[in-house]
Amino acid sequence: MKKMQIAPSILSCDYGKIAEELEKMEKSGADIIHVDVMDGHFVPNITLGAPVVKCIRKYSSLPFDVHLMITDPIDYVEDFINAGADSITIHLECDSDIEKTLSLIKEKGCKAAVSVKPKTPAEAVFDYLDKVSMVLVMTVEPGFGGQSFMEDMMPKVKKIKEEIDRRGLDVSIQVDGGIGEKTIAKAASNGADIFVSGNALFKAENTAEAIKTFKALAAEAYPEK
């Protein structure tokens, strides 16, 4: 059975206490650390760059999944890999050559993934399914944490999952935006297996309980047992 993985998005953490926040997530059973990189151009918000990733890398032994919401990822992927990224996600809507960027990420020994914003259809990722280890379906417009889950993205998740299965590929589907107790089962039932969660996890009273509940709800709803 596919493992249901929880990826806290540090966009919602207290950056002043980042070491503690990362340690807490690891102790609480998180599987992956999701790092949102925004350039103020591809999305209307600015977060952090490779030097910050390098500094915080030492506070966690979990894989670092870097979500690049930037216009020209090809110019920066090497910096993020050198800073300790284990996987890098680029947006199909960016300006870089997608094939070249994915090849560069993989050449440097990192996992590569593609992401689609809400208005981009499922079919847009089909050409890349054999070149990535993960597809990220945004369930909010990228740019900010704390937005509401877009349930109308579920047919897109389902379509991508069906295509992955039809071709017998081993590609994970990640969902990002508004994931919490009320939404995770919906996403899992349509075929998502990696769940990014910012606000719901960083604001939870008991993080370990929240992660445990998330995993149980996802496993229960996932189509393949």
Q: Which residues here bind Zn ion, judged by CB under 5 A?
A: 36, 67, 176
Q: Binding residue for ligand DX5 (CB under 6 A) from 13, 70, 175, 179?
A: 179
Catalytic machinery residues = 36, 176
Which residue has 């999952």 as its token pair? 161
- Among ligand DX5, Zn ion, none, what binds residue 73 when CB lies within 5 to 8 Å by partner kind? none
Does 218 bind ligand DX5 (CB under 6 A)? Our answer is: no
What does each C-alpha distance from 171 to 49, 93, 133, 160, 223 come to in angstroms? Answer: 27, 20, 5, 10, 15
Chain CA centroid to CA 200, Å = 15
Cβ atoms of 205 and 63 closer than 8 Å = no
Site string for ligand DX5, 45-84 (x = CB under 6 A): ----------------------x-----------------
- Kindly identify the residues of this chain, within the stretch 4-33, that bind ligand DX5 according to CB under 6 A: 9, 11-12
Does 199 bind ligand DX5 (CB under 6 A)? Our answer is: yes
> Which residues lie closer than 8 Å to 94 by C-beta, 6 or more apart?
42, 68, 70, 71, 72, 73
CB-nearest residue to ligand DX5: 198
